[in-house]
Chains A and B, each alone.
Chain A
């Protein structure tokens, strides 16, 4: 990553709602954010690498619920309730290992459980690199989609010129 001082400055200025994260937490947040954007196929393909899986306990079978999404008055002012979004969450425990959790947008029990499994595997330091590697196709797809969207949008960039009115 290219160091970007402007993002650091704006991150420091904004009021943090959730407590600031340590490097370990930040890495897990990035992972969970990635898993939340994955298709079921992508998650299953990543899990396939770790077969046979250790024994799993469904601590929290996948459950669909709502999260109230908040916005801010004026974009940066006090919060208000914008509306709800459907969210699915799940938790699994690897036998003798870590607890994997997932929270993701949508009603998707199978995706949520698969994401929780990968979150659990990732927490094993011995497997972390392998999980990151297994998720490369997903990262590549998201990067390509974001780049394509940015390029499509950039092509609609407009420059308006003001015309002089009257005779002069």
Chain B
């Protein structure tokens, strides 16, 4: 789909009243986050490929460091406050899950997940989502629960924590102390995104 907000970059207002100092600090740190070396090279490649398929980035936008953000979360192993009784804690779940995805790729195609075609990778992911896996690695590790309680929420939460993803959706972004004045439909403040082909507002 064509970019609806081609001339919008939420970072353009990072030095304005829309961003307070603590926001500037945490977003800058997030964007500068590098990938920690906590997984085996195989697992790392599996995770990178997985993220490419779940949140494929628009070509025209600055890259999102989703892999780095998720790796930090895995490294911290901080709980969410609700763990499904059939799943282990976060880091353990990801370690087992990445290995199981690779085992599934080997069982189906005889090669690691990172080397599958887009179509093969997506078919495999749909099998996990539907609990229709073949590999023995899933024996005591329910694939659909891993999918809906861990894989999907963790990946989309990392991706949509990044300003590049906010810009692509026309989200106003950080807003404090300056908020918004125009709240009604088809009205926007000058510091909000202009939608392509829509001449309402400002």
A and B bound?
A: no
